Amino acid sequence: MTITLWRHARLASFVGPQPWGWVDDGALLVQGDTLSWVGAEADLPTALHADAEVDLQGALVTPGLIDAHTHLVYGGDRAAEFEQRLQGTRYEAIARAGGGIRSTVAATRAASGAQLFDSAAARARCLMAEGVTTVEIKSGYGLSAEDEARCLAVARRLGRELPLTVRTTSLAAHALPDEYAGRPDDYIADAITWLAQQHAAGLVDAVDAFCDTIGFTPAQTGRIFDAARRLGLPVKLHAEQLSDQGGAALAARCGALSCDHLEHLSPAGIAAMRAAGTVATLLPGAYYFLRDTQLPPVQALRDAGVPIAVATDHNPGSAPCLSLLLMLNMACTLFRLTPEEAWRGVTVNAARALGLADRGTLAAGQRADFVAWHAEHPREMAYRFGHNPCHRVICGGVERTPA
Ligand code: DI6
Ligand code: FE
């Protein structure tokens, strides 16, 4: 196992009480795929052995970025729907008229496995170019036993073939497919059967649902969650995006890893999330693209000490966004997060939203996922937008070559 010492970096470690977990002149010792020592150059143990040394010459180093909420696998696009919305038709109205998610379902079912893989891989590479080392990918555009499993298998294959960790989430309860029109409870019953099959095939790390007026009711969501818990799978929820359904409290009572969107989150939802330690994953790209005006209750989340994550929500309908760095900026400008909060949202709290304790900070014992930047300070990435200063990416101890 090779041991490499990365020296003379400015570290934003997100560990310890100081802002950013800042270390002025720091070093990282990488042993295989793990960080075995992290700290100030001045504190480097004298007896330390390394096979190789890299001088980072003062470059800024952060943990690898984690995009904790995406829908990367789907067919087609929704550019025509975007034009419709620009002419005044609302997102919900398009969905109710059979467009929206269901039009992507038709395109996804029509796509070959190779098409689904190639298009998703191209999207994943865009995220990776900005320093993303872990991504969560949801199903939810297949909505049949076969097509949901196909999309999850594509996501798993991305994790095997790209230098990137992929966590998969089953989101069969995303929309009601046409063949179940008027029979949402039958659909949920079938989706529960598929979930057990997906789980047996090793395709699922977590279970999600869309609890909203154009999605599923809290009762239907609860049935999916009960099934997930029987299988020992953690849950998360698209909650209170378009209306307050009490979904966040329901999810929190099921020990949810995260509740996502949350523009219409109530004080009761916040209290339940706080009690359960559930992460609030904010998705400023969807808020922006749908021209939403209802802000998520950021100050109340802060006051309650609910950890906040930030993600792209990449999907063809409400957030066709492939830049997690842009989400740092939008989380600050639109939601008034501080740059440090936004950064914690794509590192330490994003890891927590995925139930991963082995990443998201720079500390001994963590996976060696880190990024060196052409920047002095991470606040610059929250400040600029449309700019990518990513310099070098180390994923599991191995340096990634540029895509
Ligand atoms: N909320 C979202 O923002 C995405 N899914 C969801 O439940 C949008 C999905 C889409 O419009 O295709
Ligand atoms: Fe989403």
| pLDDT tens track for 208-250 | 999 999 999 999 999 999 999 999 999 999 999 999 999 999 9
Looking at the predicted structure, is the pLDDT value of residue 192 above 80?
A: yes
Confidence of residue 403 (pLDDT cuts 50, 70, 90): low
Tell me, yes or no, whether 377 and 346 share the same domain. no
The per-residue b/e assignment along 162-199, b for 16 or more CB within 10 angstroms, e otherwise, is: bbbbbbbbbbbbbbbbeebeeebeebbebbbebbeebb
Q: Note down the domain range covering 13.
A: 3-63+361-400
Pocket test for ligand 1, best of 92, 170, 315 (most atoms within 8 A of CB): 315
Tell me, yes or no, whether 231 and 101 share the same domain. yes
Tell me, yes or no, whether 87 and 167 share the same domain. yes
Tell me, yes or no, whether 163 and 118 share the same domain. yes
Pocket test for ligand 1, best of 85, 94, 138, 174 (most atoms within 8 A of CB): 174
Cα–Cα distance, 123 to 316 (Å, whole number):
11
Nearest of 124, 9, 21, 122 to residue 371 by alpha carbon: 9
Strand runs labelled E in 284-329: 308-310
Q: Looking at this protein, which amino acid is placed at residue 282?
A: L
Number of separate domains in the chain: 2
Tokens read off for 118: 């190639």
Nearest of 216, 283, 282, 222 to residue 249 by alpha carbon: 222
- Rounded to an integer, the average pLDDT of 73-97 is 92
Cα–Cα distance, 329 to 334 (Å, whole number):
8
Helix (H, G, I), strand (E, B) or coil at 375: coil
Tell me, yes or no, whether 43 and 154 share the same domain. no
Domain boundary among 321, 336, 353: 353
Tell me, yes or no, whether 197 and 271 share the same domain. yes
Cα–Cα distance, 30 to 120 (Å, whole number):
30
Nearest of 279, 324, 325 to residue 70 by alpha carbon: 324
- pLDDT value of residue 200: 98
Partners of 311 in beta bridges: none
Nearest of 209, 150, 175, 206 to residue 317 by alpha carbon: 175
| Ion ligand 2: residues, Cβ under 5 Å | 313
CATH of the domain at 253: 3.20.20.140
pLDDT digit string, tens, across residues 10-52: 999 999 999 999 999 999 999 999 999 999 999 999 988 999 9
Tokens read off for 13: 């470690």
Cα–Cα distance, 385 to 358 (Å, whole number):
29
Indicate which atom in ligand 1 lies nearest the CA of residue 171. Answer: 7
Residues lining ligand 1, judged by CB closer than 6 Å? 100-101, 104, 174, 210, 215, 238, 241, 286, 313, 315-318
Tell me, yes or no, whether 42 and 170 share the same domain. no
Partners of 183 in beta bridges: none
CATH of the domain at 30: 2.30.40.10
Tell me, yes or no, whether 320 and 366 share the same domain. no
Q: Between helices 218-230 and 184-200, what is the axis angle to 10°?
A: 20
Cα–Cα distance, 369 to 400 (Å, whole number):
10
Tell me, yes or no, whether 42 and 88 share the same domain. no
User: What is the pLDDT of the chain when averaged over all its residues?
Assistant: 97
Helix (H, G, I), strand (E, B) or coil at 191: helix
pLDDT digit string, tens, across residues 121-180: 999 999 999 999 999 999 999 999 999 999 999 999 999 999 999 999 999 999 999 999
Nearest of 72, 40, 244 to residue 166 by alpha carbon: 72
Nearest of 125, 116, 112 to residue 67 by alpha carbon: 125
Q: Looking at this protein, which amino acid is placed at residue 180?
A: Y
Tell me, yes or no, whether 86 and 43 share the same domain. no
Does the pTM exceed 0.85? yes
Tell me, yes or no, whether 27 and 101 share the same domain. no
Tell me, yes or no, whether 242 and 118 share the same domain. yes
